[in-house]
Amino acid sequence: MTVRPITPEALRARGPIPRHVAIIMDGNGRWAKQRGVPRLLGHHAGREAVRDTVQGAVALGIEVLTLYTFSTENWERPKSEVQGLMTFLKRVLREETKELHRQNVRLRVIGRARDLSPDVRDVIDGATDRLAGNDGLLLCLAISYSGRAEILEAVRCLVAEAGSRPVAPLKVDEATFESHLMTAGLPDPDLLIRTSGERRISNFLLWQLAYTELVFDDALWPDFRRQNLFTAVAEYQGRDRRFGRVVTVAPPA
């Protein structure tokens, strides 16, 4: 039996579209291993998944799409793989910027920029500047990113701002703390998708995911497409988001 594809129009008619979707793109290495090819080819294959997912997010009207691109832990991988990934990242950003611009996409990168080589930072800055005038989907790439490191850095900034003055704990509220995070100004993710069947968040957006709906997709990342995104959004729309509150229904008159 042929399964009818989900359309953006059907999803918008069905219920609210998440403003912010975050994705842990997992499974590139396993995809390559299954095919007996080098791991780096798995990352290359994931490029089409990114392209199609971005197009799907644009079609849905999602405001922010955050992709876990490279974690701080990934620096511990073999040097040849890391170098290959950085070279691939530069190439993709150079080659995809024109298409992103055509789709009215903006770009933002979060993570420890100091970990990246100057040539990588230059390419990121060039793509970000090229897309800065757009007002559509914000594509946020987490590169050399760690949720714990982000929180520690925010604390360090708050302490540094206090200087020698005593810190008044009651004045450090959630809004103040969030303004020091790398995602300052962005809504928290409504939906997190992790591919490859793994069920963990792997040090990703630890503060921001407090009330995020989690969806786990068994597809390896190179096989992920916009229909996977649409299916996850449909599941999200079926969730009862109470944010810790009890929702009472008024009795009939």
What tens digit of pLDDT does each residue of 61-115 get?
999 999 999 999 999 999 999 999 999 999 999 999 999 999 999 999 999 999 9
Check: CB of residue 91 under 8 Å from CB of residue 55: no
**Regions of the chain short of the pLDDT cut 70:** 1-3, 164-170, 244-253
Q: Which of 150, 51, 161 is closest to 110 using CA atoms? A: 150
- CA–CA distance, 216 with 200 (Å, rounded to integer): 9
Q: How would you classify the pairing of strands 64-71 and 106-110?
A: unpaired
pLDDT (0 to 100) of residue 4: 85
Give the CA angle between residues 87, 85, 195 to the nearest 5°. 145
- Which residues are designated catalytic? 26, 74
User: Which pairs count as long-range contacts for 31-37, CB under 8 Å and 24+ apart, including other chains?
Assistant: 31/220, 31/221, 31/222, 31/223, 34/220
pLDDT (0 to 100) of residue 147: 98
Check: CB of residue 71 under 8 Å from CB of residue 202: yes
pLDDT (0 to 100) of residue 159: 85
Residues with Cβ < 8 Å from 132, sequence gap 6 or more? 106
pLDDT (0 to 100) of residue 167: 63
Kindly list the domain boundaries of the chain, sorted by start residue: 17-237
pLDDT (0 to 100) of residue 160: 86
pLDDT (0 to 100) of residue 2: 60
CB atoms within 10 A of CB 174: 9
In this predicted model, what pLDDT tens digit does every residue of 48-71 receive, in sequence order?
999 999 999 999 999 999 999 999
Which CATH superfamily includes the segment(s) 17-237? Decaprenyl diphosphate synthase-like (3.40.1180.10)
Q: What are the structure tokens assigned to 82, written together?
A: 């890391």
pLDDT (0 to 100) of residue 102: 98
